[in-house]
Structure 1
């Protein structure tokens, strides 16, 4: 009985934590102001690592100093700034 209770509680903690994380991602996405930047220099003033369309994309260009901000809507507004087509615009 104790073993079942431990497994049940562990599952509840994991499920609750993953639900809380997905909610926070949507809140950040909703608060992000969608701006179309003229060039990468302007974008990097606000987002030092650039903007990625997903947290799963990998940089093709090599080593970078900063981690990109993840926002699909912001990336789509500035898709022309992604010259190497790796899913990250203006990575540094």
Structure 2
């Protein structure tokens, strides 16, 4: 019984520490902020949508947008028509 408790505590400590390290690494990852749509469209041809459920107000587009809430929020200034898709093409 003691051995089982010792093993379970050891495993929980190991997994708990490894999960905490990943959270810290992800929190420090910075999302790139582009200075204009030309720069953003070099990496994301269809622009960046905040969610997969948003609809384009500006008409027909050639490319599907990349979906990323963090990337959209960092480049929200480039969404001129306020349809939650920045720099759509």
| TM-score, length-scaled by structure 2 | 0.67
Q: Deviations over 1:43-64 (max 9, x none)?
A: 0000000000000000000000
Please say which structure displays the higher CA radius of gyration. 2
Give me the whole-angstrom Cα distance separating, in 2, the residues matched to 1:84 and 1:53: 14
Give the Cα separation in 1 of the matches to 2:69 and 2:30. 12
Runs (4+) off by over 6 Å:
none
Instruction: List runs of 5+ in structure 1 lacking aligned partners.
Output: 1-29
Q: Secondary structure at the match of 1:84?
A: coil
Offset of residue 33 of structure 1 = 6.0
Instruction: State how far apart, in whole Å, the 2-side matches of 1:89 and 1:77 are.
Output: 10
- The count of aligned residue pairs is 62
